[in-house]
Amino acid sequence: MSAGANSARPGAPRYDERLTAPRTWWGITLLLGISGGLVTLPLGTLPMLGGLVGTAALAMVVVSAYGSARIRVVAGSLIAGDARIPLTALGEPEVLDAAEARAWRSYKADPRAFMLLRSYVPTAVRIEITDPADPTPYVYLSTRNPRKLAAALAT
């Protein structure tokens, strides 16, 4: 993960972060693989190895896919997951601490908002959408470096 990458090259990301899954989740994939092996153990050694490897591989694919979300500020756009939003359509970023981020994830949340959230990342940035043609009121992004992201958006 490289957050806040500054470069003199045009088109280089001003901010780049990958919201990777925590290390403990990778340990859980190993435990799932072992349980898959134990479930298939009565069928013999070869099915047990197949259950171990197959279950672990499937769990790793799921964790890897969930942890592949990226947030980037590059070429005049905010790219968050599948969304690409021009910086001209964004208002001022608001840095959210853990308590405020939890509030915006729950009772303050607007169902029309674009939210790229990960439960294992406690802090976030909320950015108002200023484009009158866009019905999305704001963008909520979980980030480990909310101040760096806000600075990259404000530049």
User: Considering the chain, what is the average pLDDT of its residues?
Assistant: 89
pLDDT on residue 97: 93
- What number of CA atoms fall less than 13 Å from residue 44's CA on the CB side? 2
Q: What torsion do the CA atoms of 8, 10, 117, 91 make, to the nearest 10 degrees?
A: 100
Report pLDDT for 12.
66
* Range in 12-16, 41-45, 84-88, 104-108 with the lowest mean pLDDT: 12-16
Please determine, for residue 7, whether its predicted confidence score (pLDDT) is greater than 50.
Answer: no
Contact between residue 126 and residue 104 where contact means Cβ atoms under 8 Å apart? yes
- Confidence tier at 139 by pLDDT (50, 70, 90): very high
* pLDDT of amino acid 10: 60
- Indicate whether this model's pTM tops 0.75: yes
